[in-house]
Amino acid sequence: MAIWDGTSGTAVDPENIISGAPKCPECSFFLVSDQEHFSYVCRKCGAIYDRDTLIRTGSFAAGKGTEVPESYIPFKISRGEAIGIFTEHCRSLGGLPKIYGSAKTLSDMTGAYVPFWLVSSEVEVNAKGIGFKGKQTNTFYNSNPAEDGVVRQEAYGTAKFRLKDIPFDGEKSIPDRIMASSEPFDLSELKEYSPDELKDIPAQKYDVVPVDMTDVIYRRLDKYAMQVISKVDFGFEQFIPYQDQCLTSYRNISVRYVLLPVWILTLEYDGIRYTYIINGQTGKLSGDFPESKQERSEQKERRSAQNALKRDLIIRILMVLVPWIIILVIIGIIGPENITMFFGYHPLEFILALVSAILAGVLIFHFAPKLFLKKTRKDYKNYYESMKKPVPASEPDAGVYFDTGFPLTAYETGSNFNALETGWKYRETTLSDIIKNIEAPEED
């Protein structure tokens, strides 16, 4: 059962609302406004309220007074197996510092039940974006296809779905990023918490509660909401949302307190502390490793490519300067006064020499860099290619936490996000539309 009991519709004492800063109807603590999600959050009791109506819409309450976990997942990976997974991975990377293979390091592999908050919420996204083809019932729209022949239009839609049991670790000492990349856990194996069964391996106590990490929670929920919405087509062939013009709100946010099994290994190398997590249920390893031999050699390549680029630039500049240097040297040898004298008698040759000197300069300036540019481009390409690094492990996609028991509903709406009663229409007809329609009658 969820820790908070939904009591939506809580009446609000008007006296509680001071100008702009209402108090929590339940505990009288000041509410913090969350503009982005149209809600107020009570930092004390964790209650969440609709910003307009102050009706309770959920709660981040967990961990404040509720000290006992609801459930836990038992270990499936033994300590020996965890050490095996780690050493095997180190071997596959190759060239890691000696400390990674030392028996002393591996003996520090520690099991722990880490406190996690499982956050669930109903999500409503009011999306604005571009719809491609599919629906072409509007005469104005059909008569005005885009220049490239692709029929597209601005579209609005609303989608409702539910995200379920997204884990957030309630323990500060392990970096969130590393903890999140050890996901997912198979939550169908959650068992009711009983302290007797957790005797062998210690359960850590949480040191951060959901109400103090609402930013982190909302950020991940928002990210997942956008992932879901980018897969909804609202009846178009394709719908691409404007990421920054979608409004997301959450209903019935609830939090469960559970313990999840992990093996933790920390070590220090070169003054940097490295933390590794092995999922105690699935054996998935996560953590950052110091540069391996391969990375070091790649870095060397990058440096030499950089130097090659610098060399190219210098050579190209010299190429352009060379003819002018030669001319100056010739003038120096013959003597400037002789040259003046010669050209004084031969004005035609002077013009010819001047023109060819300018022409030569232009030609060299124009073509020399181009000859080198090809090579430079290749060097650049190699350089940027070598900068590419494998994508680091990150938290799972929204699909993992999509609640299929609460199906997605999506429908197209008008620009004010009210559902359209009678099918689809492009947008409110404006005076300029009418004028355009008169000017450009439909072709059929």
The site for Zn ion (CB under 5 A) is made up of 24, 26-27, 29, 42, 44-45, 47
- 373 burial level (CB within 10 Å; 0-12, 13-18, 19+): middle
Give the residue with the Cβ less far from Zn ion, 21 or 434.
21
CB of 252 to Zn ion, least distance (A): 17
379-385 long-range Cβ contacts below 8 angstroms, 24+ apart? 379/305, 379/308, 379/309, 379/312, 380/309, 382/305, 383/302, 383/305, 383/306, 383/309
Residue (29 or 384) nearer to Zn ion, CB: 29
For the chain, the straight-line distance linking the first and the last C-alpha, in angstroms and rounded, comes to 61
Cβ burial of 192 (10 Å; 0-12, 13-18, 19+) is exposed
Q: Write down the least CB distance from residue 24 to Zn ion, Å.
A: 3
Shortest Å, Cβ 162 to Zn ion: 25
Shortest separation between residue 165's beta carbon and Zn ion, angstroms: 24
Residue found by looking up tokens 């592999």 in the block = 109
Angle at 272 between CA 267 and CA 275, to 5 degrees: 40
List Cα–Cα distances, 256 to 70, 79, 147, in angstroms: 7, 27, 53
Backbone phi, then psi, for 59, in 5-degree steps? -155, 140
Residue 49 or 86 with smaller CB distance to Zn ion = 49
Task: Quote the CA–CA distance of 55 and 42 in Å, as a whole number.
Answer: 13
Residue placing its CB nearer to Zn ion in the complex, 163 or 211: 211
Instruction: Point out which residues pair with 21 in neighbouring strands.
Output: 18
Q: Which of residues 42 and 259 has its CB atom nearest to Zn ion in the complex?
A: 42
Q: Which is nearer to Zn ion, 39 or 158 (CB)?
A: 39
Choose between 63 and 129: whose C-beta lies nearer to Zn ion. 63
The distance of closest approach from Cβ of residue 58 to Zn ion in the complex, given in angstroms and rounded to an integer, is 13
Rounded to a whole number of angstroms, the minimum distance from the CB of residue 167 to Zn ion is 25
Nearer to Zn ion, 24 or 278 (CB): 24
AA identity, residue 417: F
Q: How far is the CB of 395 from Zn ion (least distance, A)?
A: 30
Task: Give the distance between the most distant pair of CA atoms in the chain.
Answer: 113
In the bound state with Zn ion, the residue whose beta carbon lies nearer, of 64 and 427, is 64
- Structural tokens at position 377: 């481009």
Helices then strands, counting H and E runs in the chain, come out as 9, 15
Least distance (Å) between residue 214 CB and Zn ion: 13
State in angstroms the smallest separation of the CB of 46 from Zn ion: 7
With contact defined as beta carbons under 8 Å apart, do 124 and 409 qualify? no
Contact between 74 and 266 under an 8 Å Cβ cutoff? The reply is no
Q: How far is the CB of 43 from Zn ion (least distance, A)?
A: 8
Tell me whether residue 23 or residue 164 sits nearer to Zn ion (CB atom). 23
Of 364, 363, 343, the closest CA to residue 354 belongs to 343
Q: Minimum Å distance from CB 59 to Zn ion? A: 9
Comparing CB distances to Zn ion, the nearer of 29 and 242 is 29
Three-state DSSP class for 226?
helix
What span, in angstroms and rounded, lies between the C-alpha atoms of 189 and 175?
25
CB atoms within 10 A of CB 183: 21
CA angle 231, 233, 236 (to 5 degrees): 155
